[in-house]
């Protein structure tokens, strides 16, 4: 069922039956490090290349997910997954050993939520009983593809963000009980406000996040205080401030009290020297699939609106003078114990 112009309301309330988060050493040393299912200290994870390591992370995340959900791979009907690497190769190589029909999705750093929306639509339709959503990113493979070689001696801008090394997966199921449910979702529109600085992704993505949050609240007739948390994916310090200002100036909405950003939660910004915060597909992914879903399960949170943001640039588009188009997708997760308004 549709609510308003853009919001999808899932009548069958697909459940998030299980979730898993695998993270790298730096993420493990962050403030939420103890919540991840696995922290892999070796950045190569015993493989030969960064790309193989990223695939290995995603393979492990799905392995843990299957264990936690207590199902075998061939009992899963479909997997929606993607990552930042060309042709979503981090995902393709990572899950090639699993016996699960695969549908690739690309939303840059919004992939975690985009994949989850796909899985929720699939399960809600009744055509799929179990669907996995999964994503990964790796600092080194992202740097190699989008920026400079790792050992290159350059300085990072204070607005630059640090790509999270990790992978996150969630099992969306029609038959699970006593677990968080996906009530609503919104697929965002591409917003491009002309930002060309690829070292300031937060600024490029903030308008997309503002648009999606405003659309969601308008369509559902709700206000920010109706939610325990509005979590954005990887806006970081600069993008979060711009998000507040855009929502206040353009939409008369104030989300400061309920907002947090996965890019600000995953690291100790100053101590871990990550400048404006975390980014990457796994940034929103591992926070969603550890802290947020965990808190929904244990009752600390009742309603969480998770809006992941993605910058849809390529490795050549900034050089060709293009600005950075951005998109933000949202899911409303609730604790699933009766859907009483807060």
Partner 1 sequence: MDISNKKYDEMVKKASPPSPIFKNCIWAFGVGGAICCFGELMFKIYGMLGMDTLETRTMVSVTLIVIAAILTGIGIFDKIAKYAGAGTVVPITGFANSVVAPALEFKSEGFVMGTGANIFRVSGPVIAYGIFTSTVFGAIYYIVQRIML
Interface ranges with partner 1 (CB under 8 A):
48-51, 144, 148-159, 191, 193-195, 200, 203, 207, 210-211, 214, 238, 241-242, 245-246, 249-250
Q: How far is the CB of 209 from partner 1 (least distance, A)?
A: 11
Q: Are 141 and 165 in contact (CB under 8 A)?
A: no
Q: What share of the chain is helix, strand, coil (3-state, %, to 5)?
A: 35, 25, 40
Q: How far is the CB of 289 from partner 1 (least distance, A)?
A: 29
CA distance 16 to 248: 33
Distance of CA 276 to the CA centre of its chain: 17
Q: How far is the CB of 197 from partner 1 (least distance, A)?
A: 8
Q: How far is the CB of 91 from partner 1 (least distance, A)?
A: 19
Task: Using alpha carbons, list the distances in angstroms from residue 287 to 127, 192, 279.
Answer: 29, 26, 11
Tell me whether residue 270 or residue 341 sits nearer to partner 1 (CB atom). 270
Q: How far is the CB of 134 from partner 1 (least distance, A)?
A: 24
H-state helical runs in the chain:
25-28, 50-69, 89-94, 111-124, 139-146, 201-220, 236-251, 262-265, 281-287, 293-297
For 85, counting Cβ atoms within 10 Å of its Cβ (0-12 exposed, 13-18 middle, 19+ buried), the class is buried
Tell me whether residue 37 or residue 261 sits nearer to partner 1 (CB atom). 261
Q: Are 134 and 167 in contact (CB under 8 A)?
A: yes
Task: Using alpha carbons, list the distances in angstroms from residue 172 to 57, 124, 132.
Answer: 20, 10, 6
Tell me whether residue 55 or residue 200 sits nearer to partner 1 (CB atom). 200
Q: How far is the CB of 260 from partner 1 (least distance, A)?
A: 18
239 CB neighbour count, 10 Å cutoff: 32
Tell me whether residue 178 or residue 196 sits nearer to partner 1 (CB atom). 196
Q: How far is the CB of 83 from partner 1 (least distance, A)?
A: 17
Phi/psi region, residue 329 (left: phi>0; alpha: psi -120 to 50; beta: rest), is beta
Tell me whether residue 51 or residue 124 sits nearer to partner 1 (CB atom). 51
Tell me whether residue 152 or residue 341 sits nearer to partner 1 (CB atom). 152
Q: How far is the CB of 10 from partner 1 (least distance, A)?
A: 27
Tell me whether residue 144 or residue 297 sits nearer to partner 1 (CB atom). 144
| Torsion of the alpha carbons at 300, 258, 332 and 306, rounded to the nearest 10 | -100
DSSP string, 217-280: HHHHT--GGGSSEEEESS-HHHHHHHHHHHHHHHH----TTTEEEHHHHSS-TTTTT-TT-EES
CA distance 116 to 331: 8
Q: How far is the CB of 195 from partner 1 (least distance, A)?
A: 6
């Amino acid at each position: 069922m549709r609510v308003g112009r853009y919001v999808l309301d899932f009548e069958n309330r697909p459940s998030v039956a299980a979730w898993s988060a695998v993270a790298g050493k730096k993420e493990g040393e962050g403030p939420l490090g103890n919540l991840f299912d696995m922290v892999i200290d070796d950045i190569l994870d015993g493989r030969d290349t960064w790309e193989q390591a990223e695939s290995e992370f995603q393979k492990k995340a799905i392995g843990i997910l299957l264990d936690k959900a207590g199902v075998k791979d061939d009992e899963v009907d479909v997997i929606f997954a993607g990552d930042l690497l060309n042709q979503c190769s981090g995902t393709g190589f990572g899950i090639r050993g699993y016996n699960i029909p695969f549908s690739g999705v690309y939303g840059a750093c919004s992939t975690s939520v985009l994949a989850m929306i796909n899985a929720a639509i699939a399960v809600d339709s009744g055509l799929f009983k179990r669907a996995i959503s999964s994503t990964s990113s790796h600092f080194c493979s992202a740097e190699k593809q989008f920026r400079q070689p790792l050992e290159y001696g350059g300085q990072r801008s204070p607005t630059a963000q640090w790509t999270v090394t990790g992978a996150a997966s969630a099992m969306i199921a029609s038959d699970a009980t006593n677990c968080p449910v996906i009530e609503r979702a919104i697929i965002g529109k591409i917003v491009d406000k002309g930002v060309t600085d690829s070292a300031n992704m937060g600024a490029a993505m903030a308008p997309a996040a503002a648009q999606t949050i405003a659309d969601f609240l308008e369509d559902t007739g709700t206000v920010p205080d109706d939610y325990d948390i509005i979590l954005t994916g990887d806006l970081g310090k600069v993008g979060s401030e711009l998000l507040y200002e855009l929502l206040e100036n353009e939409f008369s909405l104030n989300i400061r009290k309920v907002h947090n950003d996965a890019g600000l939660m995953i690291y100790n910004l100053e101590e871990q020297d990550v400048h404006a915060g975390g980014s990457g597909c796994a940034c929103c992914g591992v926070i969603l699939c550890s802290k947020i879903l965990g808190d929904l399960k244990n009752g600390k949170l009742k309603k969480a609106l998770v809006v992941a943001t993605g910058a849809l640039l390529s490795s050549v588009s900034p050089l060709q003078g293009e600005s950075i188009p951005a998109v933000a997708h949202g899911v409303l997760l609730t604790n699933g114990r009766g859907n009483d308004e807060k």
